[in-house]
Structure 1
Amino acid sequence: MLVAHLPAGYILVPAGYILASAARRRSAAPGIMAAALVGSVLPDFDMIFFVLTGGKVHHHDYISHWPLFWLALAVVALPAVGRLAPRWFSAAAVFFAAVMLHMLMDTVAAPMLWLAPFDWSRFELTTVPATYSNWVVSFMLHWTFGLELLICATALIVAQRRNRRVRSAQRG
């Protein structure tokens, strides 16, 4: 995915607010948006290494794109946050949900190492063929980019509805 990770993280924000409200942790609500947005793009920070190595190693091969790494981290971190900083549990849960959503989204059109480091098999829903000399153009003209545009449009609708609610709450 090229452009939809951040909008997808934004779409998760209302679920985080519901979780915080159900847990009676409304004071953590400001951290929920930041957690969702950071979690939705954090795995792609491995692009720095991809660029530094001259693209010799696909960035999905780094540990930041191993779903089992994030699941193991969540299994350790979530109970710790729940016990030591319960106010931030909702934000932490949304962060890990956003990271895993990133993994799922990448699996649509890019090979992912879902079982690494135990199994190096790659999983992807579809392969985007290199039909153009520029890989970005190949991605943008592939049907999967339509899914990205749909996610972006959904995020805009969520933002519009949120802004309407905020404005009406401020008025009265």
Structure 2
Amino acid sequence: MFIGHLPAGYLLAKSPVFARASRTVFWGVLLGSVVPDLDMLWFYFVDQGSTHHHDYLTHRPILWAAVLLIGALFKAGFLIGLAAGGLLHLALDSIAGKVTWGWPFSEVSMTLVTVQATHDHWIKSFLSHWTFKVELVLVAVALIVFVRSNFKGRSE
């Protein structure tokens, strides 16, 4: 997923699940929806691309489950939001990218859809695949929700 993580995080943060949550939780969800991809910095600048970034700890669901558990134990809304956003990120990555959901108990990673190499660069292949249209829909829906929630009641 290229552009869909943050809009999906926004939609989750605005959903009925978090409707009564604080702004701290809201920002936790937004941050969590993108923070797993901070491992790309390590991937490019340290690891030189030798290990796929989905194999790093930030893309392991057990990390985000642990953050969720800690947040719940300490009633830390930001951590709960961060974990929810992180788990959402991994769920979205599972559509066309491999995520090892059973780690550390299993090394099996799965993907729902395989994006074939149809172009000379992998990014072009992803951008031309139908799954990218799902991301565009996420962006459009998030923009609609944003506009409606920010301008609701102003014209009355």
Q: Deviations over 1:26-53 (max 9, x none)?
A: xxx3223321211100100110111022
1:12 and 1:94 in contact (8 A); partners too: no
Judged with a 3 Å threshold, the aligned counterparts in structure 2 of structure 1 residues 133 and 34 are, in CA distance, closer, same or farther, namely: same
Please give the alpha-carbon distance, in whole angstroms, between the structure 2 residues aligned to 1:17 and 1:107. Answer: 23
Partner of 2:26: 33
Determine what percentage of the aligned residue pairs are the same residue: 38
Q: CA deviation at 1:10?
A: 0.9
Please give the alpha-carbon distance, in whole angstroms, between the structure 2 residues aligned to 1:150 and 1:130. Answer: 23
1:7 and 1:151 in contact (8 A); partners too: yes
Partner of 1:23: none
Q: CA deviation at 1:153?
A: 0.7
Structure 1 stretches lacking a partner, 5+ long: 21-28, 83-87
2:19 alignment partner AA: I
Q: Tell whether 2:52 aligns with 1:65.
A: no
Partner of 2:13: 13
2:12 and 2:18 in contact (8 A); partners too: no
- Pick the structure with greater CA Rg: 1
Q: CA deviation at 1:139?
A: 0.3
Partner of 1:25: none
Q: CA deviation at 1:69?
A: 1.8
Give 1:20-169 correspondences, 5 Å limit. Answer: 20=21, 29-52=22-45, 53-80=47-74, 82=75, 88-89=76-77, 91-165=78-152, 167=154
Judged with a 3 Å threshold, the aligned counterparts in structure 2 of structure 1 residues 54 and 166 are, in CA distance, closer, same or farther, namely: farther
Structure 2 stretches lacking a partner, 5+ long: none
Q: CA deviation at 1:166?
A: 6.0
Q: What is the TM-score when the length of structure 1 is the normalising length?
A: 0.82
1:111 and 1:123 in contact (8 A); partners too: yes
Judged with a 3 Å threshold, the aligned counterparts in structure 2 of structure 1 residues 40 and 148 are, in CA distance, closer, same or farther, namely: same
- What's the Cα RMSD here? 1.7
Q: Secondary structure at the match of 1:11?
A: helix
Q: What is the TM-score when the length of structure 2 is the normalising length?
A: 0.90
